[in-house]
Amino acid sequence: MTNQAEGFQPRIVVFACNWCSYAGADLAGVSRIQYPPTTRVIRVMCSGRVTPGFILEAFRLGADGVLVTGCHPGDCHYISGNENAVVTVDKTGRLMNVLGIEAARLRLEWISAAEGARFARIMTEFTEQVQALGPTALKDTTL
C-alpha cells in the first residue's frame, strides 16, 4: 500500500450539524477561506443523529476518513445531542480498532457558526492526517 502515495487525495465524509457546524462551513465559504477539496459535507440536524452505522457505512463505501462536527458543549440546539455524539464516536472508534481500521481516521470536532476559519483549518489538518495514513485497507485489492 502506498501510504505516502504521490498526490493521494483522500475522500473525507464530514457530518455537520445544521445549527452550528454547517453554518460554520457556510461562513468559511462566503469568507472565501481556502481548504482542500477532499471533503463531502453531509448536513444532519444534530451531531447526536450520527450513529456508528452512518460512520461505518461511509468507510464501507470508500471514505478514507470521517469527521463528525457539532455545536460546542453547552451550545447544542437540542441541549445534549452533542453529548451523544461523544459516546457514538468513542464507541465507533473502538469498533474500528477491532475491524482494523485506524481510529485516527475518525474525529469529532466542535465548530460554531462563527468559526469559519476554524472549519477550514480542521478540514486542512484532518486531510493531512488522513493523507499520511493512506487509503483504507478496505480498498486494498492485494489483500
Task: Return d(Cα 77, Cα 49) in angstroms, integer.
Answer: 12
**Interface with another protein by CB under 8 A: which range of 12-20, 33-41, 67-75, 98-106?**
98-106
Cα–Cα distances (Å) from 18 to 44, 54, 71, 74, 142, in that order, read 6, 17, 9, 16, 40
Of positions 2, 7, 37, 98, contacts another protein by CB under 8 A: 98
Q: How far is the CB of 96 from another protein (least distance, A)?
A: 9
- Give φ, ψ of 93 to 5 degrees: -60, -40
Could you tell me the CA-to-CA distances from 112 to 19, 52, 82, 129 in Å, in that order? 8, 23, 12, 22
Minimum gap (Å) between residue 137 Cβ and another protein: 5
Of the pair 48, 116, the CB lying nearest another protein is at 48
Taking the complex as a whole, the smallest distance from the CB of residue 99 to another protein amounts, in Å, to: 6
CA distances from 103 to 46, 82, 100 (A): 22, 19, 9
Q: What residues from 5 to 64 belong to the interface with another protein (CB under 8 A)?
A: 51-54, 56-57, 59-60
Q: How far is the CB of 129 from another protein (least distance, A)?
A: 20
- For another protein, the closer of residues 33 and 86 by Cβ is 86
Q: How wide is the angle at C-alpha 83 spanned by C-alphas 87 and 135, nearest 5°?
A: 50
Return residues touching another protein (CB under 8 A).
Answer: 51-54, 56-57, 59-60, 91, 94-95, 97-101, 137-138, 140-143
